[in-house]
Structure 1
Amino acid sequence: MTRRALITGITGQDGSYLAEHLLAEGYQVWGLIRGQANPRKSRISRLASNLSFVDGDLMDQASLVSAIDTVQPDEVYNLGAISFVPMSWQQAELVTEVNGMGVLRVLEAIRMVSGLGGSQRNDGHGQIRFYQASSSEMFGKAAETPQRETTLFHPRSPYGAAKAYGHFITRNYRESFGMYAVSGMLFNHESPRRGAEFVTRKISLAAAGIKLGLQDKLRLGNLSAVRDWGFAGDYVRAMHLMLQADEPDDYVVGSGAMHSVRDAVRIAFDHVGLDWQEHVVIDPELVRPAEVEILCADSHRARGRLGWRPTVDFPALMRMMVDADLEQVAREHEYGDLLLASSW
């Protein structure tokens, strides 16, 4: 029988890569979306004929129960979130509702549809398996480097705090109801599909724009911030593998290599033959109120138990993103010129 997967956040970067991966694995893939006119649906437009969609909202419990009852999924991947960390200081309550309470609502919907009661525990057979997209931002001001599954959380943003709640409530439902529920503590993962507000994509777009003569400067905040960056296409494979294991558990997923924002800029600008120091401007207003200085993953558990390995290193990732943005920016600029010409 064909397995069914329901993905929240299917129109985002991770959702689009996960949908591709699951379709290749032979799944029937459903996406939870807030209305068919979702403005970010373009990321999955080429897959749309192979996907099914169901209406739902992480802030609406009834809609989630209805969606899960309709789809009857074997696996639920909760990737839906407000994912831009700086926004969480401006909209802390909204981010907490979506990224924190939204997880609880999905778990509750699964519990209700599955018929699990307060004292009833599932025997683990034939139940809906749940994946929660946790985040390295939960570690924040990390007590140790690299960070592993046992590292204490010290989130440094409302985003990280909300994700920590989602992580712990997932574990609680696993322990309380015997649900097959896991969390993937994914470190930063990027791609050409990353939103333009994220620093790696902001850098790759600027490198392309400056190379094509369409802009001159790139404004950034803290160039010394260090992250463990990987390719989103690699990381969605880890999500899927977590739900295939015999027993549910939580996993750190990352490359184990640290790079600074400065490294990202240098790689991107070198790739197009530019001196980054001639174009980058430091803007103090772009520095976070509470910076997370160093994040680096110890993913031995995922590598050992799941057999997961990343395939794209950070320099190759940045070059991939710059190449994609060179094509996109050039295409959009040419299209803009055509529109301007046709208006005369």
Structure 2
Amino acid sequence: MAKTALIFGISGQDGALLALHLLERGYEVHGTSRDKELSSFANLRRVGIQDRVRLYSASLTDFRSVLQVVADAAPSEIYNLAGQSSVSLSFEQPVETLDSTIFGPLNILESIRLLKLDARLYNACSSECFGNTELAATEQTPFNPRSPYGVGKAAAFWTVANYRDAYGLFACSGILFNHDSPLRPRRFVTRKIVAGAADIAEKKSDRLMLGSLHVARDFGWAPEYVEAMAMMLGADSPGDYVIATGQTHSLESFVDKAFAFFGLDWRRHVEIDDRLMRPTEIVTSAGNPEKAKRVLGWEATVTMEEVVRRLSEAELSLRHDASA
């Protein structure tokens, strides 16, 4: 019989890419959104799988809702990718962010425990838990989050670890560093940069407003990162893993490569807007994925320059399709 996976947050970038990956491996895939009747599931349509997954309405902060979906789907694997996912927005909506990032995983864990379900859980954690990293962060690096989003993800990480130890659940957290694809919405800075450069190249605009360009990040390719999620639940024993490329680049370098793709000099078009600065910012975010390579056999092959090229080519293709 095919394995059954339940993905909370299937409509997002990672949810759609993970669903595609699991379907290709022969899984039966179920997924949730807050309201399946109102959700567009645009990302599922873009990867061509909307008709191949069974969809439910579920609110992660409503325990009864979560319990019912878990009971109905009876999955062998559960992936929690839901919740408010924008770091910038978390400063404006801290309560919603903390509610979804903390209580969501807790409700899923309680559902597994109370139903006595033999299911493995993957929980999406984040490099935001680490805050600034003087050295590339490993699974042993202490957390020092600098945003409500990071605080919530850190609390969820320890909740998963506690249930794993207390109840013997197969529960893992993936501490993922920045990872992108064409499915990212424009409010994410990588898509904003690429789309902004494309707008300027097409004479639709002449300026792109950004915050600090001096921050440094580890930029990865999302389709590779969802493979790591599945590999964690296929391991012999549960554990937590840093997922990153191991390479860190400044946002200025990302901007330079994106504008160069469109034949532009970013210095002539990019302006810094102090209003886009976060109250507290992570200057450097670097990850060490050695454990994932050693235990899971996972290693990123797409790094920053290739990420920029793929995002830029996808942006051109999207615009061509829209104008056709």
Q: Is the 8 A contact 1:209 1:329 kept in 2?
A: no
The aligned counterpart of 1:72 is 74
Q: Is the 8 A contact 1:209 1:326 kept in 2?
A: no
CA shift for structure 1 position 40: 4.6
Instruction: Give me the whole-angstrom Cα distance separating, in 2, the residues matched to 1:210 and 1:326.
Output: 13
Q: Do structure 1's residue 55 and structure 2's residue 57 form an aligned pair?
A: yes
Deviations 1:4-42 (A, max 9, x none): 000011110000110010001100000012222344511
Structure 2 CA distance for partners of 1:95 and 1:267, relative to 1, 3 Å: same
CA shift for structure 1 position 169: 0.1
Instruction: Give me the whole-angstrom Cα distance separating, in 1, the residues matched to 2:149 and 2:35.
Output: 25
Alignment of 1:88-127 (within 5 A): 88-114=90-116, 127=118
Instruction: Give me the whole-angstrom Cα distance separating, in 2, the residues matched to 1:64 and 1:250.
Output: 23
The aligned counterpart of 1:35 is 35
Q: Do structure 1's residue 135 and structure 2's residue 139 form an aligned pair?
A: no
SS at 2:51 equivalent: helix
Instruction: Give me the whole-angstrom Cα distance separating, in 2, the residues matched to 1:215 and 1:301.
Output: 45
What is the aligned-residue identity percentage? 40
The aligned counterpart of 2:279 is 289
Q: Do structure 1's residue 19 and structure 2's residue 32 form an aligned pair?
A: no
Instruction: Give me the whole-angstrom Cα distance separating, in 2, the residues matched to 1:37 and 1:321.
Output: 30
Q: Is the 8 A contact 1:78 1:130 kept in 2?
A: yes
The structure 2 residue matched to 1:233, chosen from 223, 230, 254, is 223
Instruction: Give me the whole-angstrom Cα distance separating, in 2, the residues matched to 1:53 and 1:146.
Output: 39
Q: Which runs of 5+ in 2 are unaligned?
A: none
Deviations 1:203-251 (A, max 9, x none): 0101111111111111000000000110000000000000011110100
CA shift for structure 1 position 311: 2.2
Alignment of 1:258-297 (within 5 A): 258-297=248-287
CA shift for structure 1 position 253: 0.4
The two structures have a TM-score, normalised by structure 1, of 0.91
Instruction: Give me the whole-angstrom Cα distance separating, in 1, the residues matched to 2:18 and 2:185.
Output: 16
The structure 1 residue matched to 2:242, chosen from 235, 240, 252, is 252
The aligned counterpart of 1:120 is none
SS at 2:49 equivalent: helix
Rg (Cα) greater in structure: 1
Q: Is the 8 A contact 1:28 1:51 kept in 2?
A: yes
CA shift for structure 1 position 53: 1.1
SS at 1:130 equivalent: strand
**Residue 23 of structure 2 aligns to which amino acid in structure 1?**
L
Instruction: Give me the whole-angstrom Cα distance separating, in 2, the residues matched to 1:93 and 1:21.
Output: 33
Structure 2 CA distance for partners of 1:242 and 1:155, relative to 1, 3 Å: same
The aligned counterpart of 1:148 is 138
SS at 1:86 equivalent: helix
- RMSD over aligned Cα, in angstroms? 1.2
Q: Is the 8 A contact 2:129 2:151 kept in 1?
A: yes
Q: Do structure 1's residue 224 and structure 2's residue 214 form an aligned pair?
A: yes
**Residue 89 of structure 1 aligns to which amino acid in structure 2?**
F
Q: Do structure 1's residue 171 and structure 2's residue 173 form an aligned pair?
A: no
**Residue 164 of structure 2 aligns to which amino acid in structure 1?**
R
**Residue 131 of structure 1 aligns to which amino acid in structure 2?**
Y
Deviations 1:92-116 (A, max 9, x none): 111000011111111111111117x
SS at 1:308 equivalent: coil
Q: Is the 8 A contact 1:208 1:329 kept in 2?
A: no
Q: Which runs of 5+ in 1 are unaligned?
A: 116-126, 336-344
User: What is the number of equivalent residue pairs in this alignment?
Assistant: 322
Q: Is the 8 A contact 1:110 1:128 kept in 2?
A: yes
CA shift for structure 1 position 252: 0.3
Alignment of 1:202-217 (within 5 A): 202-217=192-207
Structure 2 CA distance for partners of 1:38 and 1:303, relative to 1, 3 Å: farther
The two structures have a TM-score, normalised by structure 2, of 0.97
The aligned counterpart of 2:5 is 5
Instruction: Give me the whole-angstrom Cα distance separating, in 1, the residues matched to 2:55 and 2:271.
Output: 43
Deviations 1:148-191 (A, max 9, x none): 00000000000000000100000000000000000000001011
CA shift for structure 1 position 55: 2.0
SS at 1:203 equivalent: helix
